[in-house]
Each structure stands twice: as structure tokens, then as C-alpha cells.
Amino acid sequence: MSRQRACKPTVKRAFVCVILLAMLVRSAAPSHAPRQAQGSRLSDDVRVRAALDWFTPNISWVNDQQARITEIPAPAFQEAQRAAAVKELLAESGLPAHIDKTGNVIGELRGVNEKEIVVIAAHLDTVFPPGTDVNVHRDGSRMTAPGISDNGSGVAALLALARAVQFAHLKPQRTVLFVGDVGEEGEGNLRGMRAIVDTYRTKLKAVVVLDGSGTDHVTTKALASRRLEALISGPGGHSWSDFGMPNPINALVRGSVRFINTKVPASPRTTFNLGQIEGGTSVNSVPYEARLKVDIRSESEDELTRLESALRECIAAGVRDEMDSARDRSKGKLEWKVEPLGSRPGGELASDSPLLAALRAADEFVGNQSRIERSSTDANIPLSQGIDAISIGAGGSGGGAHSLQEWYDSAGREAGLKRALLTLLGVSGVAEEKSR
């Protein structure tokens, strides 16, 4: 009201009013959304320009770090050595870094506003078991090794961004955490990202995940998934003398055949995978145990629930079939259970979020076009809790993820690095030079 009264409709007063309002908006900016949301405007800043220009002459450094990191084995729950190497590299760049109690490495670039945090993260772990040959073979710009792209390229980009901002003496508005997180793959069940979101929840404004190669997509929709283990157990015995007793492997096979005949809809897209099966101790023993690990994914939580029930019913039916056909039921019966190994909640970024606007502006700056994707990534955790998050590739190209033939080609990776940097700075904001 008082402001209205002060602004009587004379031209002069109206002008003063506009100026005052502009000053108000300006002084309020650091505690709200950062002012510089446009990649094109950001890149007018001489320090942002210096950071962007850091990548091209330093590409071989980035490639070398990627090879070095990839050659440190990091199976699930065994990421410590790789985390230590990333911590050292962040520290060398001038970022104070520490390892949290979950095993995540965190490098901190303090912003003007320390009460608001933006996270940029790349997962450290791989799907490959201990003992896998992770030596990197290089041929020009092409590198081949398990984990070289997923997520050697993401970790290398994380390190490159940290170097570039330090080189350019960039100070963000919001504090930026450079995070190498553990437990993204498989049974890690996103434990690293869960810990980050738990710790910084109230301050966390946005999460940018770097996962794999490319610049062709932006994951804004979190694909919900569940991982389940079926376990069937029985007395076990001798293959000859106990023939006819209920056999857990037989029951598991019977149940599995039923389950893989379950119909799943094309829309909402729903998938299942029998990923691991084990049991038994020798060829001439009736096993006492059989296990099956199943991954189910869907665009719909309802379909996930339906498929999880179907798995339980099929395993129960497999056990029943085996008991019914056992010649000698006096030698004990089978027990079964289906238990969750993990679940990834779904979620979706709002189409008008500042984070998506920052990504689009960055795309425009590097002349890139990217499509929106739904996928299961570290971004699931913040998205499921209403925190803005995306997952993007780290540039270059790659293929054969999760296979021993995995490859990465660094040609053109600068575009991916610039895109990631401008997206990050678009949501963190850049401080005025004087507040350095």
C-alpha cells in the first residue's frame, strides 16, 4: 500500500519507482534463483569465458584422468581406492575435498550464499566384479575398457569442470559440491546419492548428474524400478539315492518359466530381467538352495506392483509344481521367499524448472539439440523428493556399457563439458567479480 501511495502517476515518480523495484529485485537475487539463467548471458562473463576456454587445450589431460580413474577397480561397495584418487585430484585443483561416511568424495566450491547448494555428481562405481581386467587400450581418441564410459567419462568431466572453474577463479552464488558418489550401480541401490540428499536436503536446490557419454539426451524423468531376490530352499541330498525329493533348482526353473511368460505392456513401458541365478553345490547333489535376482522397471508404479506380485505368484506356483511332482515328499518340503534387494523411486522434473531452462540455454550455446528421456539414474533420488535434478552425458561418444567391450571416443567432448559447465553455472549463478 505505502509503495502504491509513493508512486503517484507522474512520469518522474514512476521512473524512480521502477529503479527502486529493480534495485530491490537485484539485492534479493542471491537468496533466490540466480540471476544468470541464460547460457548466452553467462558466457558474456569474462571468467565464465575463461572456464569454457580451458577445456579445448586441456582435452588430453581430461582423457588421461579418465584412463587413470578407469584403471582403478571400483566394484560395488569397493569404491574407496577410486574415491581417494578423485579426492586427490579435486584437492590438486584447489577444492577442499573430503570423503563422507558413506564413501562419497565431496569437493566444495563455496558460494556467496552458503545456505543454498547445487550438486554436480558422477558415480564412481562400476558393474564389474573384482579381478576384471580394467586396463585401458587407447587408439587415437578411442579408449576401450570396462567402465571407460559408464562412468569413467562422467568422473573425468567432473574433474575437468572443477579444474576449469578454479582456473577461471569463478565464485558461484550458491555453493557447488563436486561429488563422486558410490553405489549407483546394481545393488548399491543409489546409497551414495541417498546419503547426499539426506545430508543436504534442506539446502539442496538442484542436482546435475553426469552419467556416461554423449550430449543427445537429458533425463528429467526418473524411471522407477525394483530389484527382487527369490530364494527357494529344501533339505538337499544325494543325486542318486535321494532322487525324487523336491529340488529347489527345479522349482526355481518351473517358477521362472511361468514368470517370463508374464505379459507386460508396451505402454506404459514395462520390462523385467532375470539377471542372476545361482544355487547348488555340486553336479551330483540335490541342491539345498536356489536363488534368482530379478530387475523390474516401469513407467508406472502400478505395473511395478503388478509385476512384483506376479513374481511371487510364479515362484509359489513353481514350488507347488515341484512338490506335486516329487516322488518322495517324505524327505522334506521346500520353503520359498521373495525379498526386495532395492528400489528406485520415480519422479519427474517440472517442465518450467530453472534447471531445465539452464540446460536448454547451454544446449543453445553449444549448438546442441537434446531429447528428454526417462531413465533410472542417481537423479531418481532428488526427483522423487521434489528436488530439481537431471542426468546428462559427459560428451564424446561411447557404447557397450556394462560389457567388457565398453568403449569411449573423446572426439568432440568439449561440447559436452561446456554444456555441463553452463548448466551448472546456470543454476548456481556466478558472483559479481568484486565479491571474489
151 part of the interface to Zn ion, by CB under 5 A: yes
Residues 6+ apart with CB under 8 A from 131: none
CB of 185 to Zn ion, least distance (A): 7
Q: What is the DSSP letter of 276?
A: E
Q: Which of 45, 125, 181, 211 binds Zn ion (CB under 5 A)?
A: 211
Which residue, 48 or 121, is less far from Zn ion as judged by CB?
121
CB of 66 to Zn ion, least distance (A): 14
213 part of the interface to Zn ion, by CB under 5 A: no
Please, what's the b/e burial string for 48-58 (b: 16 or more CB within 10 A of its CB; e: otherwise)?
beebbebbeeb
Which residue, 255 or 346, is less far from Zn ion as judged by CB?
346
Q: How far apart are CA 360 and CA 327, in angstroms?
A: 66
How many residues are present in the chain? 436
CB of 123 to Zn ion, least distance (A): 6
CB of 393 to Zn ion, least distance (A): 10
Find the binding residues for Zn ion in span 257-316 (CB under 5 A).
Answer: none
Helix axes 301-325, 248-260, angle to 10 degrees: 140
Torsion over CA: 86, 425, 100, 375 (sign): negative
CB of 124 to Zn ion, least distance (A): 10
Cβ(227)–Cβ(293) below 8 Å: yes
* CA geometry: angle 216, 221, 222, nearest 5 deg: 115
Cβ(252)–Cβ(279) below 8 Å: yes
- What is the DSSP track for 217-254? EEEEEEPEEEEEEEEEE---EETTTTTTS--HHHHHHH
Q: What is the DSSP letter of 89?
A: H
Rg of the chain on CA atoms, in Å: 26
β-pairing, 204-210 vs 388-392, is: parallel
181 part of the interface to Zn ion, by CB under 5 A: no
Cβ(378)–Cβ(119) below 8 Å: no
Which residue, 79 or 211, is less far from Zn ion as judged by CB?
211
Which residue, 308 or 378, is less far from Zn ion as judged by CB?
378
CB of 394 to Zn ion, least distance (A): 10
Find the binding residues for Zn ion in span 14-53 (CB under 5 A).
Answer: none
Binding segment for Zn ion among 9-17, 102-110, 142-150, 259-267 (CB under 5 A)? 142-150
For residue 115, give the amino acid letter.
K
Which residue, 222 or 326, is less far from Zn ion as judged by CB?
222
Which residue, 104 or 151, is less far from Zn ion as judged by CB?
151
Query: Looking at beta carbons, which residue is closest to Zn ion?
Result: 150
Binding segment for Zn ion among 16-24, 96-104, 203-211, 367-375 (CB under 5 A)? 203-211
CB of 178 to Zn ion, least distance (A): 17
CB of 188 to Zn ion, least distance (A): 11
Which residue, 192 or 318, is less far from Zn ion as judged by CB?
192
150 part of the interface to Zn ion, by CB under 5 A: yes
Q: Kindly compute the dihedral angle of the four CA atoms of residues 390, 391, 394, 398, in this order, to the nearest 10 degrees.
A: -150
Which residue, 42 or 209, is less far from Zn ion as judged by CB?
209
Find the binding residues for Zn ion in span 359-398 (CB under 5 A).
Answer: none
Q: How far apart are CA 72 and CA 310, in angstroms?
A: 40
Which residue, 109 or 197, is less far from Zn ion as judged by CB?
197
Count of residues in contact with Zn ion, rule CB under 5 A: 3
CB of 211 to Zn ion, least distance (A): 4
Q: Kindly compute the dihedral angle of the four CA atoms of residues 212, 216, 221, 227, in this order, to the nearest 10 degrees.
A: -40
Cβ(348)–Cβ(220) below 8 Å: yes
Binding segment for Zn ion among 13-21, 206-214, 234-242, 309-317 (CB under 5 A)? 206-214
Binding segment for Zn ion among 150-158, 189-197, 233-241, 321-329 (CB under 5 A)? 150-158
Binding-site ranges for Zn ion (CB under 5 A): 150-151, 211
